[in-house]
């Protein structure tokens, strides 16, 4: 059930790969030491459920590696992804023990977790933690609102292009490669998951990707690897302003 290879059981917070991007990034050595004593790790295989909608969650924490999807399902089975969490993103909502959506591991995932009660007590006593959490929540809200524009007003082609632009941007800032010849990155999602992300069907996702390939906006060495030769052209296909893309 759990991949042993992911089981690096305990890691010092100070040496952690997400140490300066996660909730804990404003913590000093002292608070970090405290976190060290109460955190624990848990690993999940692709497709494995982390929490189900409506369920009580007794833990919350950070994505250390891998990708987690959050999604809502209607009574008749229609599904919409509402969150896509990468390394250093925070999963779980303090003060709200009931999960309003499913969280599922998209890739192999490792989480750094805290007991809910303990974390909430710690939050109260650690302003820097709370401040960082507020910041991250505001960022997520911004992302959610961009996403709403995508879902409500963009065409299928624009949706696909927008999604690829998000991944390209992520890849560029993560690998901090300054793209001598376009951006390369892997699609972490299946076509079905992309459809759930974008409010489309698999077929439409596939067709629009084909169309973008045909137009030379993107290249796919294989179905899961993508190259963007001209980022501005991609933004253009996404219906976005050609500027606000890469500046941080």
Partner DNA sequence: CGATATTTTGACCCGGCTCAACCCAAGTGG
Partner DNA sequence: CCACTTGGGTTGAGCCGGGTCAAAATATCG
Looking at residues 130 to 189 of the shown chain, list those that interact with DNA (rule: CB under 7 A). 155-157
Stretch binding DNA (CB under 7 A), from 23-31, 116-124, 175-183, 197-205:
197-205
Stretch binding a copy of itself (CB under 8 A), from 5-13, 39-47, 111-119, 148-156:
148-156
Nearer to DNA, 137 or 155 (CB): 155
Q: How many residues bind a copy of itself (CB under 8 A)?
A: 44
Quick one: which of 46, 94, 97, 229 contacts a copy of itself (CB under 8 A)?
A: 94
Q: Is position 100 an interface residue for a copy of itself (rule: CB under 8 A)?
A: yes
Q: Is position 190 an interface residue for DNA (rule: CB under 7 A)?
A: yes
CB 107 within 8 A of CB 46: yes
d(CA 32, CA 39): 10
Q: Is position 201 an interface residue for DNA (rule: CB under 7 A)?
A: yes
Q: Is position 182 an interface residue for a copy of itself (rule: CB under 8 A)?
A: no
d(CA 135, CA 160): 28
Whole-number minimum distance, CB 196 to a copy of itself, in Å? 8
Q: Is position 134 an interface residue for a copy of itself (rule: CB under 8 A)?
A: yes
Q: Is position 146 an interface residue for a copy of itself (rule: CB under 8 A)?
A: yes
**Which residues contribute to the site for DNA (CB under 7 A)?**
155-157, 190-192, 199-207, 209-210, 220, 222-224
């Amino acid at each position: 059930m759990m991949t042993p290879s992911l089981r690096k059981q305990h890691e010092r917070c100070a040496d952690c790969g997400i140490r300066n991007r996660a909730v804990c990034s404003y913590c000093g050595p002292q608070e970090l030491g405290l976190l060290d004593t109460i955190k624990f790790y848990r690993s999940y295989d692709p497709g494995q459920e982390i929490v189900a909608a409506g369920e009580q969650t007794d833990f919350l924490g950070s994505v250390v590696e891998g990708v987690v999807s959050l999604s809502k399902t209607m009574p008749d089975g229609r599904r919409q992804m509402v969150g896509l969490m990468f390394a250093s993103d925070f999963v779980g909502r303090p003060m709200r023990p009931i999960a309003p959506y499913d969280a599922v591991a998209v890739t192999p995932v490792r989480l750094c977790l805290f007991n809910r009660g303990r974390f909430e007590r710690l939050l109260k006593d650690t302003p820097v933690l709370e401040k960082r959490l507020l910041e991250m929540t505001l960022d997520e809200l911004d992302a959610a609102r961009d996403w709403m524009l995508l879902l409500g007003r963009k065409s299928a082609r624009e949706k696909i292009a927008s999604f690829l632009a998000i991944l390209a941007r992520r890849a560029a800032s993560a690998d901090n490669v300054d793209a001598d010849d376009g951006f390369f990155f892997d699609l972490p999602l299946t076509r079905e998951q992309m459809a759930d992300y974008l409010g489309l069907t698999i077929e439409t996702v596939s067709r629009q990707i084909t169309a973008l390939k045909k137009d030379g906006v993107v290249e796919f060495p294989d179905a899961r690897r993508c190259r963007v030769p001209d980022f501005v052209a991609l933004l253009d296909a996404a219906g976005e302003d050609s500027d606000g893309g890469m500046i941080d």
